[in-house]
Amino acid sequence: MLQIENLSVRLGRRPILQDVSLTTRAGEVLAVCGANGAGKSTLLKAVLQEHPAQGTIRLNGRDLASCRPHTLAALRAVVPQDTEIAFGFTLGEIVAMGRQAGSAAHETEIDALALAAVGLQGREGEDVRTLSGGERQRGHLARALAQVWHPVGPEGPCWLMLDEPVSSLDLGQQLKVMQLARGFADAGGGVIAVMHDLNLSAMFADRLAFLVDGHLAALGPPDSVLQEPLLSRAYDCHVALNRLPATGPWLLPQTCTLRGD
Amino acid sequence: MTALSSSRATAPGQASSAPERGTDTHPSLGERAKGISRLPLSLARPARHLSLNLALTALVVAASVLSLTMGAAGLGLGDLLHAATGAGLSPRDEVVLYDIRLPRLAMGLIVGAALAVSGVLLQGLFRNPLADPGIVGVSAGAGFGAVVALVLGGLLPLGLAQALGSWLVPLAAGLGGWATTLLLYRVATTGQRTDIAIMLLAGIALSALTGAATGVLTYLADDRQLRDLTFWSMGSLAGATWTKLAAALPLMGAALILAPRLARGLNALALGEAQANHLGIDVQHLKRLAILSAAAATGAAVAASGGIGFIGLVVPHLLRQAQGPDHRRLIPHAALLGAGLLVLADLVSRTIVAPAELPIGILTALFGAPVFLWMLMNGKLRGR
Ligand SMILES: Nc1ncnc2c1ncn2[C@@H]1O[C@H](COP(=O)(O)OP(=O)(O)O)[C@@H](O)[C@H]1O
Ligand SMILES: [Mg+2]
């Protein structure tokens, strides 16, 4: 269980996140949505202790502030929005780095399985910097998967924390990655994913946390969060809302209103 | 499909959603073609590492034997075998072997290893292959520390000076190197990344500053100290004695023993500080230890042999080409290659213009500086 209580983040002088409280359980995919600059990455980074924050965060019942890095590494794996890498590390080497940080450090066969899971089988010898943007993003996802390969580890459920994991992927890869996240949660892990694509969020997430200007504006199942007033306020455009019987809400942006109109 | 079925056994949730090969429509053809042109390194690497290990060990052994058997005094391989089997040497040969060549060899080995490993550590810390202790000013800082100790050491309370004894100079050099590294890191690195231009410029500024301060100190030095300074600043292994080795060994030895423990952390650090932390590395601790051991190794090496540049740049660069950037292998291999190369360079420096000696720093710069320029030209500046 991940419990976030009264989380506030200030960067510089500006409050970026204000008083966000939410709880997500293992088995759930939680999509964090909102406009550009709403504070989604900041929320994730605060949970990852990359930003100083007020409030308390508990992961599997432990106060994060008192956990050491290697304890946390066995519990949660991260794919950041922007990745960088120095030197010519290969795909196989970074996936092994993930595995060695997790609780299945010695199960070397995981590397190939994780690469296959993101469709990069046989590519382990390639320099990460020469991959295409989407391949690199999937490579880092494979690294994260290898780190928490067993969704339920010796210390309880594990967590995948993904910042826009499908932002540079093609249509098919987006679905595959979301299926991986779904499968991870169905097997007992927890997933928090910052998402821009509301349709994918509605298809794969159990709940959406919707941020507007650093506030948690809505939290709940896709049906209840994806409502016209909230969306037009957040995105400043009109949205046509539909429902597909199989996957739930489905929406299409319609007209844009310029701010100040 | 074997990969998929075994993944089902280990991680049911993921296996159910792993891509089916039959319906797998990626990567695009262009990307596939790109993959084909690259070596499947996963198979090549283990075999390569074994042969690299053997080659490097052979290099060190060969360089050592050559260094013991070549030189002005006619002490050959046969004499060496005699000595090794316990048979006697002439008194003169004994002095040459035990008091001149052996300490010089030992010093060359350990200084070469220390400089190369300290290059690896700095490069891992700054996430850039151009961070060489000489180039970024760490050696100059260490040199300044050494000069302070040589010139002002007499001002220390007698008890302290006696307690430190011959360790005073290497310790002061280590302290100087540590202070410059710390300052350099503050200036050039902001949280996530190192600005390479700033790192190199800061290196220039730090070298200039410590160089100027060193110059001021030479004015304060008396004649005897000045002689020490000149001799030392030429950068040579010529003055190597067992006493000097004993003074320099603890710091270099400690750094060389500590360095391999930092390897996994430095690997993770290549992904940035935040990701290294998420991979379970205590990043602050790692940086502290890397800076300390790089400074200790550079400091003791500089104190023992003056300014020998580019070993820390060229050795890791060559090895990354040959074996990849994994620090778990890079660090021990760099120690071996650095040791072997410096002993060879020393051998050349004392035989090429015999009976005179070419300062070894000139030789290493002659080979190292072009490599540095070549790395700059090939876009190595961007951390590649
Ligand atoms: N390190 C920082 N310093 C100051 N402001 C920041 C910093 N990081 C993010 N911000 C600001 O916080 C706001 C939210 O950023 P972010 O959480 O990255 O947005 P998003 O929801 O698009 O992921 C943005 O307006 C951004 O300018
Ligand atoms: Mg973001």
- Kindly state whether residue B270 falls inside one of the protein's structural domains: yes
Q: Per-residue pLDDT averaged across A74-101, rounded?
A: 95
Give the range among A27-41, B34-48, B155-169 with minimum mean pLDDT.
B34-48
- Displacement of CA B240 from its chain's centroid (Å): 19
Please determine, for residue B235, whether its predicted confidence score (pLDDT) is greater than 80. Answer: no
Q: What is the pLDDT of residue B193?
A: 64
Number of domains in chain B: 1
Q: How far apart are CA B5 and CA A252, in angstroms?
A: 39
A157 Cβ closer than 6 Å to some ligand 1 atom: no
| 8 Å CB contact between B127 and B195 | no
pLDDT band with cut points at 50, 70 and 90 for residue A99: very high
Of B304 and B15, the one with more pLDDT? B304
Of B231 and B302, the one with more pLDDT? B302
Q: Which residue in this structure is represented by tokens 């540049």?
A: B309
- Kindly state whether residue B45 falls inside one of the protein's structural domains: no
Per-residue pLDDT of B341-366, as tens digits, reads 999 999 998 888 877 888 888 888 88
Q: Per-residue pLDDT averaged across A150-160, rounded?
A: 94
Give the CATH number of domain A2-75+156-226: 3.40.50.300
Per-residue pLDDT of B78-131, as tens digits, reads 777 777 776 677 777 777 778 888 999 999 999 999 999 999 999 999 888 888
Q: Which domain holds residue B143?
A: 61-112+132-383
Is A170 in contact with B383 (Cβ distance < 8 A)?
A: no
Is B326 in contact with A84 (Cβ distance < 8 A)?
A: no
pLDDT band with cut points at 50, 70 and 90 for residue A202: very high
A102 Cβ closer than 6 Å to some ligand 1 atom: no
Provide the chain B residues 237-266 that lie in CB contact (below 8 A) with chain A.
Answer: 264
Structural domain boundaries in chain A: 2-75+156-226, 86-147
A12 Cβ closer than 6 Å to some ligand 1 atom: yes
Q: How far apart are CA B41 and CA B36, in angstroms?
A: 12
Provide the chain B residues 291-350 that lie in CB contact (below 8 A) with chain A.
Answer: 320, 324-326
- Kindly state whether residue B330 falls inside one of the protein's structural domains: yes
Please determine, for residue B278, whether its predicted confidence score (pLDDT) is greater than 60. Answer: yes
DSSP string, B120-157: HHHHHHHT-TT--TTTTTHHHHHHHHHHHHHHHGGGS-
Give this prediction's pTM: 0.87
Of B192 and A96, the one with more pLDDT? A96
What is the residue type of B50? Answer: L
Of B158 and B351, the one with more pLDDT? B351
Q: What is the pLDDT of residue B255?
A: 96
